[in-house]
Amino acid sequence: MPGYLLGIDNGSQSTKVTVFDEHGTVHARARVPLRPNDTPRPGVVEHPDDDLWDSIGAATRAALEAFDGRPEDILGVGLCTIRFCRAMLRADGTLAQPVLSWMDERVSRPYEHVNPDVRYVTASSGYITARMTGQFRDTAANYQGVWPIDTDTWTWIDRPELPREMLFELVQPGDELGTITAEAAAHTGLPEGVPMFATANDKAVEALGGGLGDDRTLLLSLGTYIAGMTTGARNVHDAKAFWTNFACRPREYLYESHGIRRGMWTVSWLRDLLGEQDWLNEGAATVPPGSDGLVAVLDWLAPVDASFRRGAFLGFDGRQGPFHMYRAVLEAIALTMCGNGNAMAAELGTEFDRVLVSGGGADSDVLMRIVADAFDLPARRAQGGAELGSAICAGVGLGLFGGFDEATAAMVRPGTAFTPDHATHERYRQLVDVYRELPTYTDPLFTWLASAGD
């Protein structure tokens, strides 16, 4: 009988669950939106109630209901969750307080032990692992930033503010986390005893599922946080144009350019204001490159080190309408990330030959053409994402493949390619400089507005 792999992608806006076979063919999928975050005061962004656990249960049940096979045909589960979240757990693995979103300012500071009910401090992946398997174990590849981890050895460092006994055991991507408990089986519809496998942080899992495997390829990840990524074996410290993260392959690294916070969230926000997405995409394709002089500043969520920044449109002169606004945001995304990606390539001493584009935004032909023209490189849709990357980790962990190279060759398929128009690129090449220099002009304005109590 055939066996199947189930990949979980618990993202910032929804949980997606997909059932794959060992060739990467999709046999069922489901998506359940997350509830809006609780933001009771500035800087506080929490996941309401037990929303992560609830959405994973609902999405998994829905995927299994759409699956033509039997739940017993699921051989293994790969788990990917939102990175940079912080979960504080009681001794039994349940939440002692709401999970902190990656947008919560507290996750940029070391943990402070102020709640006596907290026994463990972990990432969202650790929390879901504990609920699914009963094991206090998590992937090393989902810990960065203020977590006490040695990025050379992928192991914990002793720090007094977060004692080792409050941290989970660390494993590598593709290692088994545990097996589905009876409680988790009732919650998700998965059979009790099915093994679950570690992945990494969500961007690295997305990169694996998208087929990123060399330093001549840039993966443009169009998510709530937009990043440009490439991969390598060096743990590069103190880079200026990028930062080094763990990859979804043991002992390898993912290099991430500077990104855009609330990137595709901004596109969704604008769509909700202006109209239906297909209509906007069709209309944006008729707008000339450069949007007739309209420029978008994409700080709808200000960076931590420049909290005064805001989003803006500049350059209205009466020619522009909703299609110009929509295209201006798409161009701002592509041109900002072109500048960021090229800066990363220069610091790494490489050049990109191609761009892979993943995430929901990759479904837009107009955005794919803008990306190809901005980079002056072939741009290809990545067919897989974090769900497929999760399933690949499960397949490797189960021994269905000889390693990650064999697994990606078997399961990742190339998507549609878009060829750049060199004349359009010349127009965009000038605008890359505009977007790079924009903060020089807008920062003083937004600083003044912030001081005036906007």
Let me know if residue 236 belongs to a domain: yes
Q: Which of 153, 186, 203 is the last residue of a domain?
A: 203
Determine the Cα–Cα distance for residues 330 and 294; give it in Å rounded to an integer.
12
Let me know if residue 411 belongs to a domain: no
Q: How many domains does the chain have?
A: 2
Residue 319 and residue 217 share a domain? yes
**Per-residue pLDDT at 304:** 80
Q: Which of 156, 184, 203 is the last residue of a domain?
A: 203
Residue 153 and residue 219 share a domain? no
Residue 229 has which token pair?
A: 């990524």
Q: Which of 203, 226, 245 is the last residue of a domain?
A: 203
Residue 448 and residue 348 share a domain? yes
Let me know if residue 413 belongs to a domain: no
Residue 49 and residue 70 share a domain? yes
Residue with tokens 């400089």: 433
Determine the Cα–Cα distance for residues 131 and 141; give it in Å rounded to an integer.
19
**Which residues, in sequence order, are bridge partners of residue 31?**
16
Residue 166 and residue 244 share a domain? no
Residue 22 has which token pair?
A: 């060992």
Determine the Cα–Cα distance for residues 392 and 422; give it in Å rounded to an integer.
37
Strands 4-10 and 14-20: antiparallel
Show the low-confidence residues of the chain (pLDDT under 70): 1, 453-454
- Which residues are CB-contacts of 139 (< 8 A; sequence separation ≥ 6)? 125, 170, 171, 172, 173, 175, 177, 198, 199, 200
Residue 333 and residue 193 share a domain? no
Whole domain around residue 25: which residue ranges?
A: 4-203
R_g of the chain computed on alpha carbons: 22
SS percent in the chain: helix, strand, coil, step 5: 40, 25, 40
Let me know if residue 415 belongs to a domain: no
Cβ 194 vs Cβ 77: under 8 Å: yes
Considering only CA atoms, which of 380, 373, 334, 346 is closest in space to residue 211? 380
Residue 249 and residue 188 share a domain? no
Three-state secondary-structure class, residue 137: strand
Let me know if residue 182 belongs to a domain: yes
Alpha carbon distances (Å) from 172 to 28, 79, 232, 254, 325: 28, 13, 17, 15, 44
Cβ 299 vs Cβ 336: under 8 Å: no
Residue 22 and residue 112 share a domain? yes
Residue 140 and residue 289 share a domain? no
Residue 286 and residue 175 share a domain? no
DSSP state of 218: E
- Write a three-state SS string for 401-451: CCCHHHHHHHHCCEEEEECCCHHHHHHHHHHHHHHHHHHHHHHHHHHHHHH
DSSP state of 286: T
Residue 68 and residue 8 share a domain? yes
Let me know if residue 342 belongs to a domain: yes
Cβ 216 vs Cβ 350: under 8 Å: yes
CATH number of the domain enclosing 311? 3.30.420.40
Let me know if residue 300 belongs to a domain: yes
Three-state secondary-structure class, residue 205: helix
Let me know if residue 283 belongs to a domain: yes
Residue 279 and residue 174 share a domain? no
